[in-house]
Amino acid sequence: MSIANKVLAVNNDLPIRTNLPVHSGKVRSVYWLTEEDSQRLIKEKGYDVAEGTSLAIMVISDRISAFDCIWHGEGGLKGVPGKGAALNAISNHWFKLFKENGLADSHILDIPHPFVWIVQKAKPVMIEAIIRQYITGSMWRAYEKGEREFCGIELSEGLSKDGKLDKLLQTPSTKGILEGIPGVPAQDDVNITRKNIEDNFAAFNFKSREDIDLYEKLLEEGFDVISSELAKIDQIFVDTKFEFGYVKDAQGNDKLIYMDEVGTPDSSRIWDGEQYRAGKVVENSKEGFRQLLLNHFPDPDILLNKDRMDEREALARDNALPESVLMAVSDTYTGIAEKITGEKIVISDDPKAEIIDILKEQYDLIAD
């Protein structure tokens, strides 16, 4: 079997019973279950959620996105073998540790297959919660140009590229386009300050001003849990993005939870500790793939300049990357997942067929 056949690239065409259109993101697709199936599973499986909660099946893929585009390889390779399973395994590991450390729950209720989560519907907080331990990436690019204020935080003089910051910095940005917030442009992914959030907490979907403190506490505690665990395998947790939302528990009380994925090579920068001490940055995250793309194409401004989105999309559509590039990314993802979880990432021969079988036999969710 060719390696291309082992990649789950299309994940929005599964015969899962639903009355709503499938929502397909860059990497995951979401199937909202019917009200009948949601309530049946809550009872059958004993999920700790409020009666009437909507459930969804979230299926990950092996697609790889960077610079807001999906990339592909030669020989019909439409993704990175093992990437989806690696991302889910890492997130599952951290969510379990968060719970053991008394932090907060996540939206995940069940894990039927390495590619699949059963999740509860949450009302998302409209913030990409970014936290940084080192100055690199967009923060370094802004600093190098002379900017000293970042998300309302004053940065000191004399910082060096990839250097460790004096303290953890929370540098939030908008999640989606938010209208009517003074001082915040109606664009996706705009840097914001804590004062922006405090003055407009309801517009960001916070239930109360006090919950801003809770979100910041969960953000910092989550970062610390992952950072200290990664240090045990000599990996440096550089920066990451968290997402939060509200759900109701079985008693009907609102609670703030972690959403999406956490501490993965897609949502974080992770550096090799030994190499960093030797003065070299070696990425165990998608940042390595981003850097490769910047070096691969003659005009990197296309990838960095949001005004050149049409050119960027054409670049991704019209250029098949060497298979060796995507296989190197596969090694990075599966390698860091195996280090973190201590378990082998198995690349399935036919993940789609496996998913359908499990959802049919154990959950009765496949449409006839």
Ramachandran quadrant class, 211 (left: phi over 0; alpha: psi -120 to 50; beta: rest):
alpha
Q: Is 342 left (phi over 0), alpha (psi -120 to 50) or beta?
A: left
Task: Please give the single-letter amino acid code of residue 52.
Answer: G
Which has the closest alpha carbon to 271: 258, 259, 261, 282? 282
Place of tokens 């690199």: 136
Relative to beta strand 164-170, strand 320-321 is unpaired
Phi, psi of 103 (to 5 degrees): -80, -100
Domains of the chain by range and CATH? 3-122+340-361 (3.30.200.20), 123-277 (3.30.470.20)
Say which residue the tokens 């939206």 belong to: 107
Lookup: tokens for 256? 């703030």
**pLDDT for the residue 247:** 95
**HSE (CB half, 13 Å, CA atoms) of 327?**
8
d(CA 88, CA 27): 11
Place of tokens 């953890």: 168
Measured distance CA(135)–CA(141) in Å, rounded: 9
**pLDDT tens, N- to C-terminus, the chain (368 residues):** 578 888 999 999 999 999 999 999 999 999 999 999 999 999 999 998 998 999 999 999 999 999 999 999 999 999 999 999 999 999 999 999 999 999 999 999 999 999 999 999 999 999 999 999 999 988 999 999 999 999 999 999 999 999 999 999 999 999 989 998 998 999 888 999 999 999 999 999 999 999 999 999 999 999 999 999 999 999 999 999 999 999 988 888 899 999 999 999 999 999 999 999 999 999 999 999 999 999 999 999 999 998 999 999 999 999 999 999 999 999 999 999 999 999 999 988 889 999 999 999 999 999 98
Structure token pair of residue 292: 């490769």
What is the rounded distance in angstroms from the CA atom of residue 208 to the CA atom of residue 210?
5
Whole-angstrom CA distances from 322 to 132, 170, 292, 296 are: 32, 37, 12, 11
pLDDT value, residue 5: 81
Length of the chain in terms of residues written:
368
Burial of 132 (0-12, 13-18, 19+ CB in 10 A): buried
Residue 1 is predicted with a pLDDT of 55
Residue with tokens 């008394």, as numbered in its chain:
102
Q: Which residue's entry shows tokens 């009948």?
A: 36
d(CA 174, CA 168): 20
Q: Do β-strands 149-150 and 108-113 pair in parallel, antiparallel, or remain unpaired?
A: unpaired
The pTM score is 0.94
Specify whether the CB–CB gap between 243 and 257 falls below 8 A: no
